[in-house]
Structure 1
Amino acid sequence: MINTQIKPFNATAFKAGEFVEISEKDVLGKWAVFFFYPADFTFVCPTELEDLASKYDELKGMGVEVFSVSTDTHFCHKAWHDTSEAIGTINYYMVGDQTATITSNFGVLREGQGLADRATFLIDPEGTIQAMEITAEGIGRDAEDLMRKVKAAQYVAAHPGEVCPAKWKEGEATLAPSLDLVGKI
């Protein structure tokens, strides 16, 4: 999946109290996070979505749009947003993928269940997947770690010839791969 293009899709999302139509064209030209989760009204999912909501303004400031995606309908997303204190904090797109088109496009549909895996994809402005993470059902993700990955991906994109080492944080030293570094790290 890394370095592949996102595939075409059309869907309805709940955002800012409204239903909006989106497609892959809404992703191009900006950085994007696709944040797949199994289902609305569950247990680990709201903790992750709320954690991501707490970083949304910072992500927007970095030029990143967030699309949370489950195979629930956009109507279900609205109902969950209106009834859950945690989900009520969300200002990013909550995409209804009841046809499982987007979930299948990203390869995270649980066959025979109709649910998405717990998965995160970072997409660059050209629509290319730069990072992905898939975890087991009971393992929640950390928005702070996602922030670090976004910053690293944006840094590498803006600085050709440099790479970010393990545990890299914004402002720290990077590496410039070359013959001189072979065997010296």
Structure 2
Amino acid sequence: MSLVGKKVMPFKANAYQNGEFLEVTEEDFEGQWSVVVFYPADFTFVCPTELEDLQNEYDALKEMGVEVYSVSTDTHFTHKAWHDNSDTIGKIEFVMVGDPSHTLCENFDVLIEEDGLADRGTFIIDPDGVVQGVEINAGNLGRDSSALVRKIKAAQYVRNNPDEVCPAKWEEGSKTLKPGLDLVGKI
């Protein structure tokens, strides 16, 4: 069942960010755009490449009013240890959420039960706490954060222009569509 259009379910989790431990709940997603990025585990192979790519887009995302939350089934303590011991992860400025109870993984339907790990899931959440976009990849397929930035720009555009839609490969400033009877069969 798709989570698109559904409000994020309640949760409470511990996280690590910039040398501090903090608590994160679904209320943190409200009033701003958020991206929740699940990955299988700390101290692995594809995961640090994805998180570094996401960090490379973090300033652009912040300028767009987006906060990033990365999540794995590791603890917030493990996130700190990884942050302290990896040059790549040491660059991370966004929130790293621990989900050892699997509550978030179950809420977002990305838990690989037999392994106790998360699928590679990306969720775009609007300021009302409602999921607007979902991407889930197999564990051996890394994601591209530049594509995520484009999708968020499109989601923000249609939220601000509800009578328009963004076509495939839409880029900021390019032409949109206005759904209506006059477009049926003409695209």
* Residue 103 in structure 1 maps to residue 137 in structure 2: no
Q: How does 1:153-172 map to 2 (within 5 A)?
A: 153-172=155-174
1: CA distance, partners of 2:164 / 2:139: 35
Match of 2:39 among 37, 40, 54: 37
1:40-67 Cα offsets, whole Å, 9 max, x none, are 0000000000000011111111110000
| AA of the residue aligned to 1:76 | T
2: CA distance, partners of 1:18 / 1:154: 30
Q: CA RMSD in A?
A: 0.5
1:4-33 Cα offsets, whole Å, 9 max, x none, are 110000011000110001111111111000
What TM-score does the superposition give when structure 1 sets the normalisation length?
0.99
Match of 2:93 among 91, 94, 98: 91
Deviation, structure 1 residue 139: 0.6
Q: Which residue of 2 aligns with 1:60?
A: 62
Deviation, structure 1 residue 137: 1.1
Q: How does 1:130-169 map to 2 (within 5 A)?
A: 130-169=132-171
| AA of the residue aligned to 1:147 | V
Q: Which residue of 2 aligns with 1:2?
A: 4
What TM-score does the superposition give when structure 2 sets the normalisation length?
0.98
Q: Which runs of 5+ in 1 are unaligned?
A: none
* Residue 112 in structure 1 maps to residue 114 in structure 2: yes
2: CA distance, partners of 1:182 / 1:27: 37
Deviation, structure 1 residue 74: 0.3
1:111-135 Cα offsets, whole Å, 9 max, x none, are 1211000010000000110000001
2: CA distance, partners of 1:16 / 1:62: 21
2: CA distance, partners of 1:178 / 1:145: 28
How many residue pairs match? The answer is 185
| AA of the residue aligned to 2:33 | W
Deviation, structure 1 residue 160: 0.9
1: CA distance, partners of 2:172 / 2:46: 29
Deviation, structure 1 residue 68: 0.1
Q: Which residue of 1 aligns with 2:77?
A: 75
| AA of the residue aligned to 1:46 | P
Large movers: runs of 4+ above 3 Å: none
